[in-house]
Every structure is written in C-alpha cells, then in structure tokens.
Amino acid sequence: MELLLYTALFAPLVGSLFAALFGASPKTLVTGVVTSLLLGVSLVASTILLIFVITSGQFVHVEMMTWITAGDLYIPFGFIVDQISVTMMMVVTLVSTVVHVYAIGYMDHDKGFNRFFSWLSAFVFSMMVLVMSDNFAGLFIGWEGVGLCSWGLIGFWYQKESATWAANEAFIMNRIADLGMLIGIFLIYWNTGTLQYHEAFAAMPALENATLVWIGIFLFVGAMGKSAQFPLHTWLADAMEGPTPVSALIHAATMVTAGVYLVIRSHELYALIPNVGLFIASLGAFVAIFAASMALVNRDIKRVIAYSTLSQLGYMFVAAGLGAYWVALFHLMAHAFFKALLFLGAGNVMHAMDSELDPFKMGGLGKKMKVTMIMMTLASVALAGIYPFAGFFSKDLILEAAFVEQHYIIYTVLLVTAGLTAFYSFRIIALIFHGEERYKLFGFHPHEAYKFMLVAMSPLLLLAIIAGSFKLSYFEMVTNLLPAIEYHIHHPLTYWVITLGTQLFVIAAIFFAYKKYMSKSVKVPDGTSAMEKSFFYKLLINQYYIPRFYEEYLVKPYRELSCVFWKHVDQKVVDATVDGIANVIYITGENSREMQSGNLSTMLKWMVAGLVALLSLAVVFGLATRHSDKIMLILSGLGV
C-alpha cells in the first residue's frame, strides 16, 4: 500500500519534471501524452487505495522522512490516506486526468504547450501533497504550491497584460489570507506543541475556548482566501484569464475547494467552537446568493461559471459550518465533476468561437455542436439539482441540513440561490446553443471540438449523472471519520413538500430562462435597453463596485504610500547610505591614483615620504613609552 501511496503522490511530479525538460522547446506531443499517462497511473493507484480504505476501513500512514527537527519541534514528511483524503485524491486525480487529455486538444496550437503541461502536473502534485499530508506544515507546503501553480497558469499567456494582472491579483490576495492561516498554524503549535493532525486535535479539547476560537478564525481566514469567500472573492472571476482547462481543474474542481477541505479536515476543532461554525455557515450562505446575483447579468460565459463556482463553494461552507462535514465533502465531489464538465464545455465553445466569450454573440450553436450542447445542458441540470442528477443528492442535502438544523434564514437564502443558479445556468445555455444564430453577424465559423476531447469529457458526464447513487456507500465510508449525522426531515409531508417544492421552483427557473433567452427578440446588448440602464443591472454588472472600491480605497492609497516610502525612505536613506559608502571609496581611489603615475622618481618620493612618516611615528611612540609616567601625570592633571 505504501508503494501505491508514493506512486499516486509522485507520478504527477515525475510528469511535471519530464515536461519541464522540454519547457523551452516548441510543442512536442509526447509531453502531453506522458503527463496524461502518469496522471492515469496516479488515478489507478488512488482507486486501489480507495478500494482498500473502503474494504478494510483502515488508514495508510507513512512517514517518508524527517523534515524539521529542532528542539521540541518535529515535523516529518508524513502522508496519510484516510477516508477524507482518499475522496479528495479521487476527485483530484480523476478531474486532472480528464483535463490533461482534454488539454492536449485544447492547447493544440499554443506555443507554450510543453510549459503548460509542466505547470499543470506540478499543480496536481502540490494538490496531492495538500490533501495527503498528515500535518499542518505539509498541508501549508501544498497550499503554497497550488497557489504558485495557479499563479503560473492564470498568467500563462503572460504577453497579455490582463492575464499577468489577474495572476498577480490572485497570488497577492492569497498571500493575505495565507498570513491568517500561518498565524492559525503557529497558534496550534504554540498551544498543542505539535502539528500532526491527530495529536493536535487530541490536545484541543483541553484548551481554553478563546484560544480555540482564534485558531478556528485564523485557519478559516486561510480557507477564505483559497476558496475565494467574501471579501477575498474578486480574484476568482479575474482568474478566468487563464486557459479554460486551468479554470476547469484549478478554479472549479480542486484548488478552490482546498478551503472546504481544510475546514472538513479540522472538523474536530470546529466541532468545539459552534459559534465560528455558524459564522462560516452564514458567510457561506451570503456568498452563495451574492455570487449567484452577479452571475445573473454577466456577459462572459467563463465568468458566469466562475460565479457559480463561488456560489457552490458558499453552499459547501454552509454545510461545513453547520457540522454536516460529510455533506460538504459530498457536494465538493459532485460539484467537481459537473463544474469541470461545464468549464470544458465552455472551452469547446470558446474554441469554436475564436475565444469569443460573450454569449449574446453566439446563439444557435446547438446545430453545429450537438455533443457539447448535450454535455453542458446535462452538467447544468446537475448543477441546478434536478433529480436524479448528482446535484440533487448533494445540494438538496445541504438545504435539508439547514432546514433540520433550524437555520431557516440560511435555508431560505440557499433556496432562492438554487433558483438563481438554475436561471443563470440555463440563461447561458439558451444564449449559446439556442435561438437565433447571431454569430453569423460577427463572421464566426464555429465547429465541434476534436473527438478525443469529447471522449475525454465523457467520464465526467457519467459521474455528473450517477454520482448521487454513491451516496449511501460514500456515507458509510466517510462517517468512519466524520460525524455521522443523517439529515432527515421527520414529517413525511414536510419532506415531500420541501423536496417537490424545491424541484418545481428550480424547474420553473429553468423554463423562465429558456423562455426569456431563446426568443427571437434577443439582441446583442448595446447599452440602450431599459434594463441595462436600471440601477440593479449596473450594480450587478459592476460586481457591486467591489473591485472598484478595492482599486480606489486600497490599491491606490497603498501605491501612494509606496511611492512616498520609495522616494523619501528608500532613495533618500537606504540608497543614499549605500551610495555614500561607495562614493567615499570611489573618491579616495580617484584621488590616490595620482600616486601610481608610473613615474619612478615620483614613486621614490612617495617611498621617502612613507619612510619619514614611519620613522616619525616610531620616534613618537618611542618617546611616548619612555615618558609614559610623565604623560599620565599631565593627563590626570587635565582631568582625563
């Protein structure tokens, strides 16, 4: 089993290093194939581990080597495969294998083909370290690793100004959050004396409540950054500057769920501090509806899907905050499948439309791209949570959990969000694939993606449809580790009313979206219609003016402050000191080079001068030592 663990962990790293060897050379197909194959190996190893964990109910725990030992501090490179991490490993390896194969087709004409695969596999390796580590330090390494790879992949087309800006934004915002997380980790070490999960959590019930609250808050700040929760959410939508496979893998299925994973992993901590949990749930519910509202009007299909990711992450945090950790993990898994599928479908559309992202300029693409249309529609159905697709089982479970726990406000917010989710998902479906063929006005010639890309997507489609049927076996597996709370509404009438009501509400939202956006009257918006002039539309399309607020009140003052420090502190103090020292030496040299005129008689004169100086010194010292007692007397007379 240990060998399998190492295989699952290191196969992506080998792939990444292999692709990096060809990083600077033009496209070689072999890098794409080799990295995909190694990911496949990792997937197989993870599957075997999953079967082992299910059948035996045991963990696989290895300690590869010592990392840090200093005094009482002992941190090994230890890895654990238990029910939580094996679930994450399956999600990560499965989605990334699909995305790797898909990217061979998607990045076909790109100059940075090899570089892309190197980054992508490096990301998978970091993510595996993150989920498999058995201590907080290892988790943090993986955490930073995925941040770095995310930076490299968002800014993959570095010749684009907007892409590098988005990459830096994502990186810097995550740094801010990571500071919080680091403080949380320090607090854990400070109070429990260890960073190993099981030892740290075992020591926690004995700690003071206030300490635990601080630890919980700081760890959650880290999770907020990675999972793009309000107010650190702006980077996720901008991260869509990266290539679409990256959006599918990193910014939908895996990396952004790391925050949820952290909360689930620390469930023993959060179980002790229900107030923080309630805060997490409330923030999650707020983000769910907040992001969904921005998705309603956006005119960029990738951004719409990004907001939908944000909204679904909100759902996961609601579940995790309310103590329904297994529900959160289940939704994380199901969401990864259909959201990655949705993104890859959007990638096909972009490919067909020469990277055009405005759905209003598409329309009627269904005739040319049947398979993509079916896949995206089914993924949207799963996202909307229609029976019997995956979303129904995972998302409605969160609604039920909120209802059972009697948080009716959160429940209502989530219910409304479910309707909004269905609406905006089918808004873009209707705009892209149905209605008038508006793309002809803009001279596009759409075509379906390569066959093997569609085949690569099919496992995700299958899982988006059937993932719900794993619910029972999944429940049995993870509840070995996570609290086994079943959320059943006891009154059968209430149960049916709520379930059917939700379903009908969602279906109504879907029909409304189709009706509104399939009609022939849909035109490319030009800023003149009454809706576009309304206050709410402006508020939503400008993302509640939050990016502008950050720009005006945080970025600009900071830039001003930096300018002041640069001009007045750095240049006038630090640089001036360094330059001053250099100048003194420079001037000394400049003046004393006269001595080295090369003229022998000048040199002889200098020699004589030196001799005289040394002799006089010798005489002075000689006299001084001879008459030292008298000199001391004179000096003491002077009062020294």
Partner 1 sequence: MEIGLNHYLVLSTILFSIGLVGVMRRKNLLMLFFATEILLNSVNISFAAISHFYGDLTGQMFAFFVIAIAASEVAVGLGLLIVWHKRHNAIDLDLMSTMKG
Residues lying near partner 1 in the complex (CB under 8 A): 593, 595-601, 603-605, 608
Rounded to the nearest whole angstrom, what is the least distance from the CB of residue 605 to partner 1 in the complex?
Answer: 5
Gyration radius of the chain's alpha carbons = 32
Rounded to the nearest whole angstrom, what is the least distance from the CB of residue 70 to partner 1 in the complex?
Answer: 52
Nearer to partner 1, 68 or 595 (CB): 595
Longest dimension (CA), the chain: 116
Measure the CA–CA gap between 73 and 77, rounded to whole angstroms: 13
69 backbone dihedrals φ, ψ, rounded to 5°: -130, 120
Instruction: Return the residue matching tokens 């805060």.
Output: 279
With H, G, I as helix, E, B as strand and everything else as coil, classify residue 73: strand
Query: Which residues make Cβ contacts (< 8 Å) with residue 193, sequence separation at least 6?
Result: 72, 203
Q: Retrieve residue 535's tokens.
A: 């206050």
Rounded to the nearest whole angstrom, what is the least distance from the CB of residue 68 to partner 1 in the complex?
Answer: 53
Rounded to the nearest whole angstrom, what is the least distance from the CB of residue 141 to partner 1 in the complex?
Answer: 55
Rounded to the nearest whole angstrom, what is the least distance from the CB of residue 586 to partner 1 in the complex?
Answer: 15
Measure the CA–CA gap between 174 and 193, rounded to whole angstroms: 27
Nearer to partner 1, 527 or 598 (CB): 598
Q: How far is CA 618 from CA 612, 613, 632, in A?
A: 10, 9, 20
Nearer to partner 1, 70 or 600 (CB): 600
Total length of the chain = 640
Measure the CA–CA gap between 568 and 62, rounded to whole angstroms: 54
Nearer to partner 1, 159 or 601 (CB): 601
Nearer to partner 1, 17 or 608 (CB): 608
Nearer to partner 1, 55 or 599 (CB): 599
Provide the sign of the torsion angle of the four alpha carbons 296, 298, 300, 303, taken in this order: negative
Nearer to partner 1, 159 or 592 (CB): 592
Rounded to the nearest whole angstrom, what is the least distance from the CB of residue 156 to partner 1 in the complex?
Answer: 54
Measure the CA–CA gap between 581 and 374, rounded to whole angstroms: 71
Instruction: Return the residue matching tokens 């696989």.
Output: 60
Please choose, from the candidates 219, 454, 232, 474, the residue with its C-alpha nearest in 3D space to the C-alpha of residue 332: 474
252 backbone dihedrals φ, ψ, rounded to 5°: -140, -50
Nearer to partner 1, 71 or 598 (CB): 598
CB 251 within 8 A of CB 214: no
Rounded to the nearest whole angstrom, what is the least distance from the CB of residue 592 to partner 1 in the complex?
Answer: 10
Helices and strands counted in the chain (H then E): 28, 2
Rounded to the nearest whole angstrom, what is the least distance from the CB of residue 604 to partner 1 in the complex?
Answer: 6
In 113-244, where do the E strands start and end?
Answer: none
Nearer to partner 1, 595 or 634 (CB): 595
Nearer to partner 1, 528 or 599 (CB): 599
Rounded to the nearest whole angstrom, what is the least distance from the CB of residue 589 to partner 1 in the complex?
Answer: 10
Measure the CA–CA gap between 522 and 574, rounded to whole angstroms: 62
Rounded to the nearest whole angstrom, what is the least distance from the CB of residue 622 to partner 1 in the complex?
Answer: 18
CB 215 within 8 A of CB 269: yes
With H, G, I as helix, E, B as strand and everything else as coil, classify residue 382: helix
